[in-house]
Amino acid sequence: MKMTARKALLAATVAAAALAGCARSGEIVVEQGVGITALRTVCPAVGVPDYTGDVTLFSPAGARTLEALDLSAAITNVRSQCNDSGDQVYATATFDVIAQRRDWRGARSVTLPYYSTVVRGGSSVVAKRLGSVTINFADGQDRAYASGTAGAYIDRAAATLPDDIRERITRRRKVGDEEAAIDPLTEPDVRAAVARASFELLIGFQLTDEQLAYNATR
């Protein structure tokens, strides 16, 4: 069935209204078809940086052959929670470490160091902490897992956009206006302000230079 122009316009209007209704108070939404829809929160993004989510142990340590592979482990199932009710935002990340050993004979415990770091603006390290997780293998068991936790406080004011920047992003623009053709998120000062207010909680294995190089080149 063909839809008339009137019905098509009505459907588009209803769809747009429904989309706008999905936004909650405090979120940034660029509307009117200008730019992109951007939703922000003072809670940090949580993730694992490239090349630090895996670790491989060799025996002897300097060997890199398959026969010398002793143990490998990976960070997986990363979950995050965030309490943003106060002036200090507290974020936690929990994760699992799954390990596999080549020689399954005998019980064995292996302790692997990991780090958690708070990064601002994608490059500036605000804080870093070290922790460790212990993997326990039973006799005859070649796979085992353990869990780890990381947490960080972030100043709410630092993670909040200045009012003038927020106004420029959320300002309604009419089609045909000169500024309607410019995505405010592409303007250098707006982009810089968004970066300064953006935080990440990153976790990974605390690797040696050799282990990091191995991960990057394998």
pLDDT at 174: 60
What does the pLDDT look like over 29-50, one tens digit per residue?
A: 444 444 444 556 899 999 999 9
Q: Which amino acid is at 45?
A: A
Give the SS3 label for residue 135.
Answer: strand
Q: What is the largest CA-CA distance in the chain?
A: 76
What does the pLDDT look like over 55-106, one tens digit per residue?
A: 999 998 888 888 899 999 999 999 999 999 999 999 999 999 999 999 999 9
Question: Shortest CA distance to 133 belongs to which of 81, 92, 98?
Answer: 98
H helical segments located in 31-187: 163-170
pLDDT at 177: 61
Please say whether the dihedral angle defined by the alpha carbons of residues 3, 7, 8 and 11, taken in this order, is positive or negative. negative
Give CA–CA dist 35/16, Å, rounded: 15
Prediction pTM value: 0.74
